Structure formats: structure tokens, C-alpha cells
Amino acid sequence: MEQREIVVIGGGPAGLSAALQAAHSGARVTIIEGEKRLGGQLIKQTHMFFGSHKQHAGTRGIDIATLLENELRALPNVEIILGATVLGYYYEDGALTIEDHEAFRLMIPKRLIVASGASEKFLAFPNNDLPGVYGAGAVQTLMNVYGVKPAQRVLMIGAGNIGLIVSYQLLQAGVEVAAVLEAAPQISGYLVHASKILRLGVPILTRHSIKEALGKHTVEGAIIHRLDDRWQPVPHSEQQITCDTICLAVGLSPLCDLLWQAGCAMQYIAELGGYVALRDEGMQTSVPGIYVAGDAAGVEEASAAMVEGSLAGLSAALSLGYNSPADEELTAELRQQLDDLRAGPGGAKIRSGLEKLHPTADNPKEVT
């Protein structure tokens, strides 16, 4: 049984920021990442981030991952465990079970920060199990991490930011994008991303969806159709598209299995991607000592994930007695950064989701 002070699960933007902040506060931090490298989804993001300089706006996601990792590796009070999977959390004694290179480890942290990220949502249509139907993140991994050309011609489903950005990245990698379909009446991602692909001649078809995938052993095409204003298929509106890949960018769901196991109070909030843990303003869940940050706390942009991570890391360190006179100011600044990121029409969905979140029993949500 290994004892630890703060364990952070997940080495993406939220987990890295949580570990950095907690370590800067003076706590001893262990970060556990399932992949062989840190960075999470940042390592696939070739586009420059928006927001403010505090969240590295103007820097490409992949470079942000390197910045955060270098900063973390320079700290003596940080332990980094890569290629290890946290299998479970046992609330009876607060133990984590971990598979680390075919060995089994038991770890008891004083504080736990869950930054496990999200998984891709799926879509129901005939033949959706054919090889060639890929999540948008998978296509990004192939081309941006491994430098493998993912396809010749892609049909993209979903015109949110991920669908739009990945379409642009596909064009950069020399892949044809047949069309981007969006079931909603309007493009839901940022128009700056939509304009980039529209200028390159890719049609974005709103009120359209996929009816079925075609092919025997792999994808050879798709039938698409138009939807009416009640989201029902319009008869005789079918069109056949030739493509070897159908890319699904229809949203993400928080990965919160460990939070369920820990007995955290959970709530279903569609705007946040599914079930999320109730938490206070310091990102502590209803179970004292367990914190949540990033997509695991509700699907949002990486910039917000980094700020949530910092908040969680700060509160976890504070609760262990690692405090400094600047903490109050830092907390206020981080909360302000979150408010700024969620301001404006782009943050409307997140704001509406967060408003529905019940206050935690021990920590009533402050009305601001």
C-alpha cells in the first residue's frame, strides 16, 4: 500500500494544470496518465488557442502540452507515472487500484483530483460499426500524433468546434472532405473555424444527417438526408456520398466512472455532455477530499479545463494546509478567468448547464 499526498488522475490540460498548481503550492503530487506521454488531447491540437494569454492564447495546443510538461518536470515534488491505468477507487479505505506495466499497485492518496477527460459519443445508423467510422479524435490521433494519412475522402458528421477544426486539419493533411453535416439549423462551432473550411470549398450542410453507411468490410460511402424543423428525415431528400471514412464529431461524454465508484453525487446535464459530479467553487465533489476538473467535470474547451485544474489543485493543496497569502487573490483571479472564458454567446451552453447543477450539500453554491 503506497501513501501519497495528492494524486491527479489524467495528464491532459486539466490534470497537468492541477498538478502544477498543487505542486507550486508546496504539496507532493503524483500524476497518473494512461498514455505513454503527457498532454492528453492537447498533443493533437495543431490550431492556436483563443481566450487570454493566461491560457496560452495564440499558442498551438501541442506546444501548450510541452510547456506544461516542462514546467511540471522541473518541480522536485512531482511524481509522474505514465502508461498506468487507474482501475478503481474504493471508498471504504480511499484506495486506488492501478495497473502499471502489468503490475498491480494500491495507492492511498490524501486528496484525489479526477481529471480523466471524456469519451466520444456515438451515433445510431445502419452499418455504424463498419471499419472507417471513426471518432473525430481518432482521426486526429492518426494524422497529428502518428503522421498517418487517415483517409482519402471523409464525410464529417457534426459542425461543432471539433468537427470544424478536424475538417480543417484533414485538409492540411491532404485529405478530401466531402461535406460536413450538422443536424441543427445552424453551425454550432465558432464561425472563424467554419469560414476556414468554407473558403476551401467544403460544403457545410445544416439540417442534414447520415441515414446509413455503405460498404461490406470497410466504409465505401454514405447515404445522407435532410431533416425538417422537427428533426425528422425529409422524404426523398437522400443523397449518396462517396467516401472511405465517416468521422463522428457529435460530442463527448465526461468519463466519470471513478467518481461514481467513489459515491460522488452526480447529476445528468445534457449541456455538459452527460452525468457530472456536483462540486463547490473549489471543484471539490460531494465526497470530501475528491476533486474534479476538465472534461470529466463537464465537456468544455481545453482553456477552461486548465483553469478548472488550477482551481482544483489550489483547493486540494489548501485543504492540506499548504497556504500562502496570495491564495485568496489567485482563487478570485482563476474564477474570473473562468467567467471570462464562459462569457458571450460561445459560453451560453456551458453557462446554462452550470446553472442547472445542484449545490453540493456541504458546500452550497455561492450566488454571485
Partner 1 sequence: MRLSNHPILTFRRGEKISFFFNGQPLEAYLGETIAASLHAAGIYHLSDSAEKHRARGFFCAIGQCSSCMMLVNGRPNVKTCTTLVKPGMVVESQQGKGQLPLWNNGK
Task: Give SS3 for 46.
Answer: coil
* List 57, 67, 75, 172, residue binding partner 1 (CB under 8 A): 172
CA distance 14 to 144: 21
Phi then psi dihedrals of residue 220, to 5 deg: -120, -10
Q: Is 100 in the site for partner 1 (CB under 8 A)?
A: no
CA distance 97 to 90: 8
Q: Residue 290 is placed in which grid cell? A: 475528491
* List 217, 235, 345, 367, residue binding partner 1 (CB under 8 A): 217
Binding map of partner 1 across residues 103-142, x = CB under 8 A, - = no contact: ----------------xx-x------xxxxxxx-xxx-xx
CB of 338 to partner 1, least distance (A): 26
Q: Of 174 and 344, which has the nearer Cβ to partner 1?
A: 174
> Locate cell 482519402: which residue?
152
Phi then psi dihedrals of residue 193, to 5 deg: -70, -40
CA distance 73 to 40: 16
CB of 179 to partner 1, least distance (A): 21
Using alpha carbons, list the distances in angstroms from residue 301 to 61, 228, 264, 317: 11, 30, 24, 25
* List 26, 34, 233, 359, residue binding partner 1 (CB under 8 A): 34
Q: Of 151 and 314, which has the nearer Cβ to partner 1?
A: 151
Q: Of 60 and 110, which has the nearer Cβ to partner 1?
A: 60
* List 35, 212, 220, 280, residue binding partner 1 (CB under 8 A): 35
CB of 160 to partner 1, least distance (A): 17
* List 26, 59, 62, 97, residue binding partner 1 (CB under 8 A): 62
Q: Residue 29 is placed in which grid cell? A: 503530487
CB of 243 to partner 1, least distance (A): 13
Q: Is 146 in the site for partner 1 (CB under 8 A)?
A: yes
DSSP bridge partners of 359: none
CB of 112 to partner 1, least distance (A): 21
Interaction with partner 1 in 324-363: which residues (CB under 8 A)? none
* List 72, 143, 306, 307, residue binding partner 1 (CB under 8 A): 143
CB of 53 to partner 1, least distance (A): 21
Backbone CA torsion sign across 331, 337, 338, 339: positive
Backbone CA torsion sign across 61, 118, 275, 87: negative
CA distance 236 to 64: 48
Q: Of 48 and 343, which has the nearer Cβ to partner 1?
A: 48
- CA 93 to chain centroid: 29
Angle at 103 between CA 39 and CA 74, to 5 degrees: 35
Q: Is 257 in the site for partner 1 (CB under 8 A)?
A: no
Other C-beta atoms within 10 Å of 216: how many? 8
- CA 316 to chain centroid: 21
Q: Is 206 in the site for partner 1 (CB under 8 A)?
A: no
* List 1, 70, 174, 199, residue binding partner 1 (CB under 8 A): 174
Task: Give SS3 for 170.
Answer: helix
CB of 47 to partner 1, least distance (A): 9
| Residue ranges binding partner 1 (CB under 8 A) | 34-36, 46, 60, 62, 119-120, 122, 129-135, 137-139, 141-150, 172-174, 216-218, 255
